[in-house]
Structure formats: C-alpha cells, structure tokens
C-alpha cells in the first residue's frame, strides 16, 4: 500500500509498505479515505519528538471504511464508515473508566505520561498512523464511531482531533459568561478554540499570532479580534492594557513547542534543543492571565523540560488545566453542534492533496504557503 514515510527532519515521501494486519482481537483494519496533517504532526516532522523512527507513518486524524475486523469486535462490521479518534483507549483501565481516554494505561509501552496515539512516534506507542491507504485501529470497539449519514466526511475527519481539541481547550478554560478569552496561536486548533469560546458565553475573544493570513481567517471564522504580535510592542502588556490592566480571564496556549516571539526561547528550544521546544506562548499565557485566572494548555510539548515563569503561576494563583483531548467524550455534543448549524468545522480546510504528494503537503503546511490553514490527504 502507499503510505507516508518519514525519512528525517523536514523529509517525508510517499512509499509502498506492507499493509497492516490484525494483531489483537479488538483491532480493525480501515481503508483510509481522508487523513489530515495536524499542527502537532509538524513537531514530529521537524524532528522535535524523541523516538521518531525513520520509516514511520504519521497521521492521527483519519476516517475510513472498515475492511477487516478482529474476532472480538461486535460494534463494527466490514463496510462501516468510521471516524477514528486520535487516542488509543482500552476503555477498561482506571483512567479510561474515569473518562480520561487520552491517558489510557493499556496502549503505550514506551512512556507513562500519556496513552497511545496513532502515528505519533514510539514515545506514543509505536503505532503507524492513518496517512496511508490502510491503517490498523486497536480497541476499535471503544472510541471509533460510525459516521452519521448526515455528517460530511470533511467534518467527520475534523471530529477526530481538531474540533474536539479546540472545544476542550475552551472548555478547560472554565469560561464564564462575560469573560475575556485570549488564544495564543491562530493555527487550526487555536482558531477552533476561539470559535468554541463563544459557546461558553465569552464576551470577548482575542487571538494572537504573527501570520497575517491566519489572523484574518480567525477574524472571519471565529468572529474574534486578532492581533499580530510582531506589530505589538509586547503582547503581554497589550493584553493587560486592553483589559484595563486586569489581565485576561482565560488564556489558551494553542501553539506548543514551536512558538516564535522570543529569541531566548527559540535558541534554547529549537536551535540548541536544551529545552523541549520554545515555550513562548505558554510564557505569555501565564503572564497575561489575571490573578486567579485559568490557563488552558492544548499546545503540544516534548517530554523534556521547558522554561516557563512558574513563580508567576504561584504568585498569581493561576489554575493550569491541560490534557490531550478525550475525543470520545465530546463527539455526541460536537456532532449535535454541527447539526444545529452552530459551526461548520470543514470551513477551515484549505487544501485537499493526494497522498502521493505528501512531501509537498507537509511543506505547504509547515512553511505556511498558499494561505494554508488545514490540509487533508486523500489516499
């Protein structure tokens, strides 16, 4: 089968590899019909996530048709069109049973911090991802769901990660009616978080980034204010001034380990790799939020350390909420929101690109060419 094949930092290609097989009674094999490139895929594409092995196939946002089922699969059958949440969750461990599906303890032998994730390095379990013609889906009876007939496939593929993660970013912010919410990052997750902040009753939503076309997209899609931090003297001071020197009620870090904006963070995190990437957005979020405010983190960071102003977290009494998204819990509500017409997630898709052109697709997304917001690969 044709699959995305990682060759090293900034190098990928489409290449033939063996088709996946059933390896566990609760597996299914899916014939992929859409797979997104996620902003967090760029972290592994850029070589920032330890134990990313050459030959890996990325892709944790995909949908497809069930073509083979393991012997213990009762909920799905061959021919079903399913969406596959990015978390690999057993549904039985203490964490899954308490709703923490992204923290499953039965899907990742190589690290204990999170659970297994499709196509996201051996640190996240060593599973191949969905940027391929076929993919193995473990625990297929737990999180994957049949795509309702009235849900567009492009919306379905965004329900595997980006829409739920953006929603959870806003939800974890504990937004109260009338709150000012600041989202750092105008990538797909940040834009989605900004849009979802209104669902929780925000009175003001501000997005901070430096890519002008993305800021414009955020203004239109998320109905928010959007500012280029390169034209602000200091984004933290700007947030303070614009909130009457009080600070934002909620700040969301939707950037993670590749944030621009600080030479010190960039050199130590990206160039010298002395920390797990550049934590500028988190630094700003902590310093921009009000005393007693909430910082919600969905940006992805590597497993080593980061330089953040932890003293300000203590002194301001900030609550930090963070987790990978528990997609399964959110699906019923988010499907309902699509049906009600509150949001059309697929509007953020700017590029459909054939899988065989995966190298160009990654470069377009990574280098932000052609006004790219979100890329979908078609096997």
Positions in 299-318 near another protein (CB under 8 A)? 302-304
Is there binding between residue 35 and another protein (CB under 8 A)? no
Helices 212-222 and 188-197, axial angle in degrees (round to 10): 30
Instruction: Return the number of the residue (99 or 317) whose C-beta is nearest another protein.
Output: 99
Pairing, β 351-354 against β 375-378: parallel
Q: How far is the CB of 249 from another protein (least distance, A)?
A: 13
Instruction: Return the number of the residue (81 or 346) whose C-beta is nearest another protein.
Output: 346
Is there binding between residue 150 and another protein (CB under 8 A)? no
Q: How far is the CB of 65 from another protein (least distance, A)?
A: 22
Is there binding between residue 240 and another protein (CB under 8 A)? no
Q: Which of 77, 78, 92, 352 binds another protein (CB under 8 A)?
A: 92
Instruction: Give the H or E element holding residue 351.
Output: strand 351-354
Cα separation, 371 vs 217, in Å, equals: 9
Instruction: Return the number of the residue (61 or 179) whose C-beta is nearest another protein.
Output: 179
The answer to whether 255 and 299 have CB atoms below 8 angstroms apart is yes
Q: Which of 77, 78, 110, 292 binds another protein (CB under 8 A)?
A: 110
Is there binding between residue 78 and another protein (CB under 8 A)? no
The count of other CB atoms within 10 Å of the CB of residue 78 is 12
Is there binding between residue 202 and another protein (CB under 8 A)? yes
Cα separations in angstroms, 23 against 20, 26, 104, 206, 222: 9, 9, 19, 47, 42
Max CA-CA distance within the chain? 62
Q: How far is the CB of 328 from another protein (least distance, A)?
A: 9
Cα separation, 124 vs 128, in Å, equals: 10
Taking the alpha carbons of 115, 119, 121, 126 in that order, is the dihedral positive or negative?
positive
Place of tokens 């566990």: 24
Size of the site for another protein (CB under 8 A): 93
Is there binding between residue 363 and another protein (CB under 8 A)? yes
Is there binding between residue 231 and another protein (CB under 8 A)? no
Is there binding between residue 152 and another protein (CB under 8 A)? no
Is there binding between residue 249 and another protein (CB under 8 A)? no
Q: How far is the CB of 84 from another protein (least distance, A)?
A: 14
- Would you give the DSSP letter of residue 198? G
């Amino acid at each position: 089968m044709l699959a995305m094949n990682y060759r090293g930092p900034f190098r990928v290609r489409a290449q033939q590899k063996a088709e996946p097989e059933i390896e566990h009674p609760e597996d299914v094999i899916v014939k992929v019909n859409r797979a997104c490139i996620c902003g967090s895929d760029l972290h592994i594409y850029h070589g920032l996530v330890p134990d990313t092995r050459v030959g890996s196939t990325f892709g944790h946002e995909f949908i497809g048709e069930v073509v083979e089922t393991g012997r213990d699969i009762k909920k799905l059958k061959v021919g079903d069109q399913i969406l596959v949440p990015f978390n690999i969750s057993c549904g039985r461990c203490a964490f899954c049973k308490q709703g923490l599906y992204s923290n499953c303890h039965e899907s990742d032998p190589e690290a204990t911090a999170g659970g297994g994730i499709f196509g996201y390095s051996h640190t996240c379990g060593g599973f191949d991802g969905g940027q391929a013609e076929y993919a193995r889906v473990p625990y297929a009876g737990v999180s994957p769901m049949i795509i309702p007939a009235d849900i567009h496939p492009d919306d379905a593929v965004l329900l595997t990660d980006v829409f739920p993660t953006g929603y959870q970013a806003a939800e974890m912010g504990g937004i109260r009616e009338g709150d000012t919410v600041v989202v750092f990052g105008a990538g797909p997750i940040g834009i989605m978080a900004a849009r979802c902040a209104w669902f929780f009753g925000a009175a003001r939503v501000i997005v901070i980034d430096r890519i002008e076309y993305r800021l414009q997209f955020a203004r239109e899609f998320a109905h928010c204010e959007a500012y280029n931090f390169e034209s602000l003297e200091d984004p933290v001071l700007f947030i303070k001034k614009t909130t009457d020197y009080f600070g934002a009620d909620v700040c969301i870090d939707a950037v993670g380990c590749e944030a621009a904006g600080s030479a010190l963070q960039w050199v130590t995190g990206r160039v010298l790799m002395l920390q797990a990437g550049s934590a500028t957005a988190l630094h700003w979020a902590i310093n921009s939020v009000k005393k007693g405010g909430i910082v919600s983190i969905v940006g992805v960071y590597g497993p080593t350390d980061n330089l953040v102003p932890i003293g300000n977290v203590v002194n301001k009494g900030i609550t930090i909420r963070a987790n990978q998204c528990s997609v399964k819990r959110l699906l019923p509500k988010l499907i309902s929101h699509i049906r009600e017409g509150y949001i059309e997630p697929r509007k953020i898709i700017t590029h459909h690109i054939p899988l065989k052109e995966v190298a160009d697709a990654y470069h377009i997304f990574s280098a932000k060419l052609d006004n790219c917001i979100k890329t979908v690969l078609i096997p």
